[in-house]
Amino acid sequence: MNGRAPNWPHIGLALVVIGALIAAPQILTGGVAQNLAILSILYAVVASNWDLTLGYAGIFNFAHVAFFGIGSYVAAISTLQFGVPVWWDLALAVVVVMVVSGVVSSLALRLRGIYVALVTFAVTQLCVALINSQKDITGGPVGLIGVPDLQIGSLAFGSDARAYFYAAEILLLASTIGLRLLVSSNFGLSLVALRDNESYAVSRGMPARRQRVLAMIASSIPTSLAGCLYAHYLIVASPDVFSFSLTTLLLTMVLVGGAGTIYGPIVAAFVLTVGTEKLSGLGNVRYMVVAVLIVLTLRFLPGGLWSLGRVRWPASPAAAPASAASFDLKERPE
């Protein structure tokens, strides 16, 4: 990120990625593959943003799935119940989720350690409880069906799912670039410093709670947009988005992919979404397989899948503090 000499391998890599992003929706047009790709991309957005708070900032934030769910419900409720035109609901969702995440995190971050996990978890459950209690607005346990399509001019996205594919890709690309810039900025470094040695970082003048609340708010923005796209694409908003199983799936992406890497959770999102689909012939046994893989990864590859790459290509100095800190705090002097 020094921005002096052009870094040709990086520019080459960027061109390959952009080429792949343009080509993929044209190649993957089969229903199943297309659907899996779009879902993988949206999960990748959610998981990589969760990594900002969980991996980089070290906050035991279990409310991240709620941001995704609230995003999808704001899209559904505002368009269906209040006639908000499409696209505007996206803006509304971002605002609502930013406010929710700001309030939740400034309350939850008064607490420490495991209590943060339990309270943020409770917030997710509170969302489900509210949705079930407000049946007239939210559709209750069934959810809201018939979320209108996104539309540009006369192109309804639903008539050609490639449009959703591109929209999801743009979101993932923008979110990933944003996240990488954020974690390598002074702000990102302050989050890592607070995670690794809070008392020292605070003594050097870092406002712990403010930085963490800001991280929570930042991570909630792309997440809420992913929730909106999810609702528009699937044309439903259902309480399943707050479910324990989706929380687990996304958490698995973060930890198995590699906490504190941003790219790891993205890779894991594709691997896990496609992988569980490929194993669908096994029925429920596939979840058992995934569970065993989670435990084995945490046991023998604590840095996650992404750390496999690091063994062969040593980390660049800019990336090192984040990756090393995640699971090797022990050696650091107090």
Partner 1 sequence: MSAIIVSGLVSGALYALIASGLSLVWGALGVFNFAHGVLLMAGAYVAWWLSSPDGLGLGLPVAILATLVFLIAAGAILFFLLVRPWVGKPNAELAVIMTTIAGSIFTQNLVLEVFGGRYKTIDQVVSGTIWIGGTAIAAQNLLCIVLAPVLLVGMWILLTRTRTGLAIRAVAENQDVAQLFGIGVQRIYLVTFAASAVLAGLAGILLGGLFNISPDMGTDPLLRAFVVVVFGGLGSLPGTIVGAYSVGMIEAFASYYIGIYWTPVVLFLVLIAVLVIRPTGLFGRAS
The least distance separating partner 1 from the CB of residue 108, rounded to whole angstroms, comes to: 8
Which of 255, 279, 254 is CA-nearest to residue 43? 254
The least distance separating partner 1 from the CB of residue 110, rounded to whole angstroms, comes to: 5
| Contacts by residues 284-287 (CB-CB < 8 Å, ≥ 24 positions apart) | none
Whether the CB-CB separation of 298 and 255 falls below 8 Å is answered with yes
- Residue 144 has φ and ψ, to the nearest 5°, of -110, 130
CA Rg value for the chain: 20
Whose Cβ is closer to partner 1: residue 108's or residue 179's?
A: 108
Whose Cβ is closer to partner 1: residue 24's or residue 117's?
A: 117
- Residue 304 has φ and ψ, to the nearest 5°, of 85, 180
Whose Cβ is closer to partner 1: residue 41's or residue 131's?
A: 131
Q: What is the DSSP letter of 4?
A: S
The least distance separating partner 1 from the CB of residue 152, rounded to whole angstroms, comes to: 39
The least distance separating partner 1 from the CB of residue 269, rounded to whole angstroms, comes to: 16
Give contact residues for partner 1 (rule: CB under 8 A): 54, 60, 107, 110-115, 117-119, 121-123, 125-126, 128-130, 132-133, 135, 244, 248, 251-252, 255, 259, 283-285, 287-288, 290-292, 294-295, 298-299, 302, 326-330
The least distance separating partner 1 from the CB of residue 9, rounded to whole angstroms, comes to: 32
The least distance separating partner 1 from the CB of residue 55, rounded to whole angstroms, comes to: 10
Whose Cβ is closer to partner 1: residue 117's or residue 170's?
A: 117
- Residue 166 has φ and ψ, to the nearest 5°, of -65, -40
Whose Cβ is closer to partner 1: residue 10's or residue 299's?
A: 299
The least distance separating partner 1 from the CB of residue 123, rounded to whole angstroms, comes to: 8
The least distance separating partner 1 from the CB of residue 236, rounded to whole angstroms, comes to: 21
The residue whose two tokens read 């890599």 is 13
Within 13 Å and on the Cβ side, how many CA atoms surround 185?
10
Whether the CB-CB separation of 141 and 239 falls below 8 Å is answered with yes
Whose Cβ is closer to partner 1: residue 25's or residue 260's?
A: 260
Whose Cβ is closer to partner 1: residue 11's or residue 291's?
A: 291
Residues in the chain: 334
Cα 263 to Cα 70, 99, 309, 315: the distances in Å are 25, 27, 11, 13
CA 323, 325, 327, 333 dihedral sign is positive
Tell me the two tokens of residue 273.
């979404």
